[in-house]
Amino acid sequence: MNLWKKTLRQVAAVDKKTGPSTAPEIHKITPAAALPGGEFAIWGKGFARNGGSRPTVRFGEVPGEILISSATRLIVRVPEGVEKGHLTVDAGGGAVSLPIRIILGRKLAENLHPVANPAIDAAGNIFSTFSGSRGQKAPVSIYKLRRDGILQPFVSDLLNATGLAFDRSGLLYVSSRAEGNIYQITPDGHRSIYAGGMGIATGIAFDAQENLYVGDRTGTIFRINRDRQIFVFATLEPSIAGYHLAFGSDGCLYVTGPTTSSYDQVYRVSANGEVASFYRGLGRPQGLAFDAEGNLCVAASLSGRQGIVRITPQGRAELFVSGYNLVGLAFTGQRSMIVATHNALMELSTNIEGMPLLR
């Protein structure tokens, strides 16, 4: 945001020195970031010349696809293969706007099948599933993306690996929605059953006391204490799956379960299991994570626009990242965001600190 304001001040300074400019002027770009295939909306003036031809929006030297064009507003799709750089609007005849720096995602790994948030260990390694369709046993169930960029198999022959979460000691936990089991996995990839009988086990998350919470696709949320005793913690509507879970700084558990509705909600469950609606109005909300300021980021659509929606503690929502086929996200220790699509992992350098998962 500071860089954006600085760039706009530079634009104003140039206009003040040189007088009225015939070049296009960019006044605002939303959302703050986008993945390849996502869309930016650009507001300003001078985007159309007298001849009426469409301008060209370039990401560095690569042109994007113009979806909507007027003299003051453009919507452009981010082309594939562009990971960083600046955006310019070229109205033709040598009239080109000043470049504006933008935040774009870069692809880290592909040919995966995540269905929930990725997980990141204390060393910065990223873990993601190849979940497969129900009942399909993939040759590799969990992959480890090392900090040096090497993607390697981590766990094999685990049926329908779904939710991922780390405890404080560095052990990885994964749910199997086909078996209803929760597995505990050591740093060398050895797995053992941590708990069973979870129904169609999906989302998992730890609270500050390291109790593990497990969402069931029928709407039940289980709590497993450190002695591995299992309790029913809360119950959602039977039609709502507790597919994705995350704890907020208020100690409440936040839950999403995508349906076919375009007006789904995020649920907030208090420490004593009382269920309430936190925010309603999302399309197919999926993986979610909190930043250090308490904003909730959700892979969903808002007013028909898909990507990462950021919701403030007061319940104000905005599209923060534009992108398609997103299923989850996680914050790194380097102030970036890892976003999982239905088949890949992407990274966005957002300069946002994530909330520690276990405090």
Query: Residue 23 is part of a domain; what is its CATH number?
Result: 2.60.40.10
Quick one: average pLDDT of 107-126? 96
Q: Is the pLDDT of residue 12 over 50?
A: no
Q: Is the pLDDT of residue 135 over 90?
A: no
Which of 104, 119, 134 lies at the terminal end of a domain, its last residue?
104
User: Looking at residue 83, what is its pLDDT?
Assistant: 85
Q: Is the pLDDT of residue 20 over 80?
A: no
In this structure, is residue 359 part of a structural domain?
no
Pair type for strands 244-247 and 65-69: unpaired
Q: Does 48 lie in the same domain as 195?
A: no
User: Looking at residue 359, what is its pLDDT?
Assistant: 58
- Sole residue written with tokens 């999982």: 340
Q: Is the pLDDT of residue 23 over 70?
A: yes
Q: Does 246 lie in the same domain as 185?
A: yes
User: Looking at residue 50, what is its pLDDT?
Assistant: 62
Q: Is the pLDDT of residue 182 over 50?
A: yes
Token pair of 1 as six digits:
């945001």
Domain that holds residue 230: 108-348
Q: Does 175 lie in the same domain as 58?
A: no
In this structure, is residue 357 part of a structural domain?
no
* Domains held by the chain: number: 2
Model pLDDT for residues 57-99, shown as the tens digit of each residue: 999 999 999 999 999 999 999 999 898 789 999 998 889 999 9
Which of 52, 73, 104 lies at the terminal end of a domain, its last residue?
104
User: Looking at residue 22, what is its pLDDT?
Assistant: 83
Q: 296, 198, 309: which is closest to 252 by C-alpha? A: 296
With bands split at pLDDT 50, 70 and 90, how would you rate the model's confidence at 105? very high
Q: Does 275 lie in the same domain as 260?
A: yes
Model pLDDT for residues 223-252, shown as the tens digit of each residue: 999 999 999 999 998 767 789 999 999 999
User: Looking at residue 262, what is its pLDDT?
Assistant: 81
In this structure, is residue 161 part of a structural domain?
yes
User: Looking at residue 8, what is its pLDDT?
Assistant: 43
With bands split at pLDDT 50, 70 and 90, how would you rate the model's confidence at 48? confident
Q: Does 188 lie in the same domain as 323?
A: yes
Q: Is the pLDDT of residue 18 over 50?
A: no
In this structure, is residue 356 part of a structural domain?
no
With bands split at pLDDT 50, 70 and 90, how would you rate the model's confidence at 4? very low
User: Looking at residue 207, what is its pLDDT?
Assistant: 96
User: Looking at residue 19, what is its pLDDT?
Assistant: 38
Which of 71, 104, 137 lies at the terminal end of a domain, its last residue?
104
Q: Does 27 lie in the same domain as 131?
A: no
With bands split at pLDDT 50, 70 and 90, how would you rate the model's confidence at 162? very high
Quick one: average pLDDT of 104-130? 96
Q: Is the pLDDT of residue 275 over 70?
A: yes
- Written in H, E and C, the secondary structure of the chain is CHHHHHHHHHHHHHHHHHCCCCCCEEEEEECCEECCCCEEEEEEECCCCCCCCCCEEEECCEECEEEEECCCEEEEECCCCCCCEEEEEECCCCCECCCEEEEECEEEEECCECCCCCEECCCCCEEEEECCCCCCCCCCCEEEECCCCCEEEEECCCCCEEEEEECCCCCEEEEECCCCEEEEECCCCCEEEEECCCCCEEEEEECCCCCEEEEECCCEEEEECCCCCEEEEEECCCCCCCCEEEECCCCCEEEECCCCCCCEEEEEECCCCCEEEEEEEEECCCCEEEECCCCEEEEEEECCEEEEEEECCCCCEEEEEECCCEEEEEECCCCCEEEEECCEEEEECCCCCECCCCC
> What Rg, from alpha-carbon coordinates, does the chain have?
22
In this structure, is residue 344 part of a structural domain?
yes
Q: Does 164 lie in the same domain as 98?
A: no
In this structure, is residue 353 part of a structural domain?
no
Q: Give me the count of residues in the chain.
A: 359
Q: Does 95 lie in the same domain as 68?
A: yes
* Averaged confidence pLDDT in the chain: 91
CATH of the domain at 159: 2.130.10.10
Q: Does 75 lie in the same domain as 118?
A: no
User: Looking at residue 173, what is its pLDDT?
Assistant: 98
Q: Does 82 lie in the same domain as 41?
A: yes
Q: Is the pLDDT of residue 216 over 80?
A: yes
pTM equals 0.91
User: Looking at residue 5, what is its pLDDT?
Assistant: 47
Q: Does 228 lie in the same domain as 334?
A: yes
In this structure, is residue 171 part of a structural domain?
yes
Round to whole Å and give the CA distance between 211 and 98.
Answer: 52
Q: Are 155 and 164 in contact (CB under 8 A)?
A: no
Q: Does 237 lie in the same domain as 90?
A: no
User: Looking at residue 279, what is its pLDDT?
Assistant: 97
In this structure, is residue 74 part of a structural domain?
yes
